[in-house]
Amino acid sequence: MSQLFSPLSLGQVTLDNRIIIAPMCQYSANNGAASDWHTIHLGQLSLSGAGLLILEATAVNPEGRISYGDLGLWNNETQQALGKSLKAVRQYSPMPIGIQLAHAGRKASTGKPWEDIGAIAPDDVNGWQTLAPSAIAYDDSSPVPKAMSQDDIDSLIKDFVSAAKRADELGLDLIELHGAHGYLLHQFLSPLSNKRDDNYGGSLENRMRLLLDVFKAVRAVFPSEKAVGVRISATDWVEGGWDLDQSIVLSKALDELGCDFIHVSTAGLSPEQKIPVKPNFQVPFATAIKEAVNMPVIAVGLITEAQQAEDIISEQQADAVALARGILYNPHWPWHAAAELGATVTAPKQYLRSSPHGQPSPIK
């Protein structure tokens, strides 16, 4: 029996299999509001046979967007627009759906990737003043962010709580807090971007404080039968930055607070990063964290083949695998993996006749 296609529980949320669709920004929202593109995109992914779909990084306030086209969940308009897309998707898919709540910090106020314009100045019509732990720009071409005051931090936590409540009202099954890829919560974690001298800077305990405070606040308002987890970058890939040892300390702290899962990625904080990209290059970080915690651990990063994913699970390197670009390229990746591994996935009845002639069907 395929281990990749065995059930997995994230808290009280049970997945049919261990394939997770990772959050992938679409840069196609209107003032934070989901568009028809989101309905089409999410509808396609919801028919993939994966065990869980996590919506793209969703800003908890307008200034938290990476670009002016990012999805948001901060008012009635953004909630209603996302609700419209989710209602359409849920008519045809029973797949659990989660959302990644985020704030981009100093990496906010940019153009869309295909526009190739990078950071946008605060006085531009599509730009705004960015915030960060310290007044340190991401790179030489980015505006200097404003160092957050205690009032800014208090307001941020309230915005995460408000977005979590809206996520619950939308019927979402899970929240993933975005503490990875160089965005705001990661910026507080890393000594490269956090030079504060208050309770949120300096020691590892202090640098972890904001992420842990956000987790506790969100967990307190999101129903206990629904899952709350965290995505982290386990290393900055820069000497003197955030690293695996610190990630393990953070993961243990989250585990003690009742975190339901941890999603282990790497990088994104500094343009000085040197990443040894190859298949499974991030999996050892997930494995090291898995050995230190009780909660399920999700591995990600150039996991593209069915047997590769099966081996990660069967060898207990991680509890689940997440696909991003790979499932955009091949939205039926779980179908093909199930066929290769002798398993089955759930698919709409309209597609039951789609298997190649003479081959057993992996869909049910």
Start-to-end Cα distance in the chain: 17
How many whole angstroms separate alpha carbon 190 and alpha carbon 242? 5
Q: How far is CA 25 from CA 52, 58, 109, in A?
A: 17, 8, 14
Task: Decide if 96 contacts 53 (C-beta within 8 A).
Answer: yes
Q: What pLDDT tens digit does each residue of the chain (364 aa) get?
A: 999 999 999 999 999 999 999 999 999 999 999 999 999 999 999 999 999 999 999 999 999 999 999 999 999 999 999 999 999 999 999 999 999 999 999 999 999 999 989 999 999 999 999 999 999 999 999 999 999 999 999 999 999 999 999 999 999 999 999 999 999 999 999 999 999 999 999 999 999 999 999 999 999 999 999 999 999 999 999 999 999 999 999 999 999 999 999 999 999 999 999 999 999 999 999 999 999 999 999 999 999 999 999 999 999 999 999 999 999 999 999 999 999 999 999 988 898 888 876 676 787 7
Supply the residues annotated as catalytic.
183
Helices (H), the chain: 36-46, 76-90, 150-169, 184-189, 204-221, 244-256, 283-290, 306-314, 325-329, 333-341
Q: What is the pLDDT of residue 357?
A: 67
Q: What is the pLDDT of residue 355?
A: 81
CA–CA–CA angle 174, 306, 46 (5° rounding): 35
Q: What is the pLDDT of residue 356?
A: 77
Residue whose entry in the numeric block shows the structure tokens 């869909």: 363
Q: What is the pTM of this model?
A: 0.97
Q: Tokens standing for 249?
A: 């300390």
CA 282 to chain centre: 15
Neighbours of 12 (CB within 10 A): 12
How many whole angstroms separate alpha carbon 190 and alpha carbon 266? 12
